[in-house]
Structure 1
C-alpha cells in the first residue's frame, strides 16, 4: 500500500460518493445490512472522512456532532486494505480534528467482533450487547461519565 491520505469531504462530493459506495460494498454486500438501515438522514449533516491509497478510497467514517459528544460511525475499510491500520489512522485523524475544535468526548457503537480495535484507541464498552443491522454491537465511549445521555 502506498502512503495513506486522509481528507474530510463534503457530503455528496465525488470523494464522498466513493465513500458511500464503499460503505455499500462493506455493510450491504459483505455484511448483509439492509440498505435502508445503512443510509440515513444523518449523512446530510455529518462530517465525512475518506482514506485514499493507491488512487482509490479505501476507508471511510463519519462524525456526528451531538451536544454531549461526537459520535464516530460508519467506519468501513475495503477488504484488501484491512489489517493495515487504515481504520485506526482514520479514527485518530477524525478525533484529532474534533479535539482542535474543542470537542474531546467520543462515542460509538462497535460490531462486537471489532471491540479490540476500539479498545486500543482508548474506548471502553458499556451497556448490554444489542443487534444493529443484524449483527451484535456494543456501545463504547472514551470518557467516564456514568450518567451520560447518548444519542444514536
Structure 2
C-alpha cells in the first residue's frame, strides 16, 4: 500500500470517487455535504493498493491546528491497516509543515481506531450529517 499527496486532477477525482462510495452511497451523507466548500483549501491524500485507489483523506489548517477529515477506505480493504496508512501519511505531512496538534471529528463507532493511533476524545457527542461524532485531538510535536 502506498499513500500519495494528491497533485493531479485525476488523483483528486479518484479520492472524490472513494469518498462518494463510502460516505454518500454507504452512509447516505448528502453529496453536497460530503464535497464541500473546503475542498480547494485542503490537502488531499489517496491510498493505492497494487495501483488501485482504495482509500482517501483530507487535511487542512484550522485555528492553528491540523484538521484531519474524510478518512475512508473501500469496504473490501477495511481491517487491513489501510486506514492507519492514510493517518500516518497525513500525520507525517503535518509534522513536515510544522503542525504540533491534530484534530478530527470521529464517527463514534470509529473512536477505538483513532484511540489506537494516540487520539483522545475532547468533546461531547454531536451530530454531523445525521451521524454521531466526537472531536478528538493528538499532540504530534517532536
The TM-score normalised by the length of structure 1 is 0.88
| Residue among 102, 106, 119 paired with 1:106 | 102
CA-to-aligned-CA distance 1:77-113 (integer Å, 9 cap, x gap): 0010000111111111111111022112100000000
CA distance in structure 2 between the partners assigned to 1:48 and 1:127 by the alignment: 25
Match of 2:74 in 1: 78
| Residue among 32, 37, 54 paired with 2:33 | 37
Match of 1:121 in 2: 117
CA distance in structure 2 between the partners assigned to 1:130 and 1:119 by the alignment: 18
- Of 68-77 and 92-101, the range deviating more from structure 2: 92-101
Match of 1:131 in 2: 127
Give the ranges of 4+ consecutive aligned residues of structure 1 lying more than 6 Å apart after TM superposition: none
| Residue among 2, 7, 17 paired with 1:5 | 2
CA distance in structure 1 between the partners assigned to 2:34 and 2:110 by the alignment: 18
RMSD of aligned alpha carbons: 1.1
Match of 2:64 in 1: 68
Unpaired runs of at least 5, structure 2: none
| Alignment pair present for 1:140 and 2:136 | yes
CA-to-aligned-CA distance 1:43-63 (integer Å, 9 cap, x gap): 101000000012211010000
Match of 1:50 in 2: 46
The TM-score normalised by the length of structure 2 is 0.94
Q: How many residues end up aligned between the 2 structures? A: 139
| Alignment pair present for 1:27 and 2:23 | yes
